[in-house]
Amino acid sequence: MSENNYTTAELFAELKNDDSWENDPEVREKIAAALYASLLRAV
């Protein structure tokens, strides 16, 4: 997952710190973590 000079894990780390899609940092962290786990489970 490192082609295009990024990894999926890096994108999710960025998502956790990005308040442009969710203001509440706790919710942001919880949703980002749950989403990542959900995507991994589906493969």
Partner 1 sequence: MSNDLYDTKVQNLVDAINFREPNKVPVGMEFIMWPFAYEGRTYKDVMDDPNFAAETYLKFLDDISLDYVALMAGVPHPVKTYQKLGYNDYVIAKDDTGIEHVQAAAQFMHADEYPELINDLEAFRYQTMFKKKYPVFDQPKDVAYAALKEAAVEYKKFYLTNSLINESIYETRKIVSLLGPSSLRYSSAFNSIFDHYRGITNALVDLRRRPETVREACRVIREQAIRNLKAKPEDYRGKSFPLGMTVYHSECFLSPDQFDEFFFKDFKDIYGPYMEAGAKFFLKGEGRFLNTIDRYRQLPQGAMVMMLDEDDPFEAYKAIGDWATLATGIKSDLLKYGTKQQCIDYVKKCFDTFAPGGGFIFLQNKPFLYAKDVKIENVVAAYEFANEYGKK
Minimum CB distance to partner 1 smaller for 25 or for 27:
27
Compute the distance between CA of residue 12 and CA of residue 39 in angstroms, rounded to an integer: 11
Nearest CA-CA partner of 36 in 1, 6, 17, 9: 9
Minimum CB distance to partner 1 smaller for 25 or for 30:
30
- Among 6, 13, 17, 25, contact with partner 1 (rule: CB under 8 A): 6
Helices (H) and strands (E) in the chain, counts: 2, 0
Q: Rule CB under 8 A: which residues touch partner 1?
A: 1, 3-6, 8, 11-12, 14-15, 18, 20-22, 27, 30-32, 34-35, 38-40, 42-43
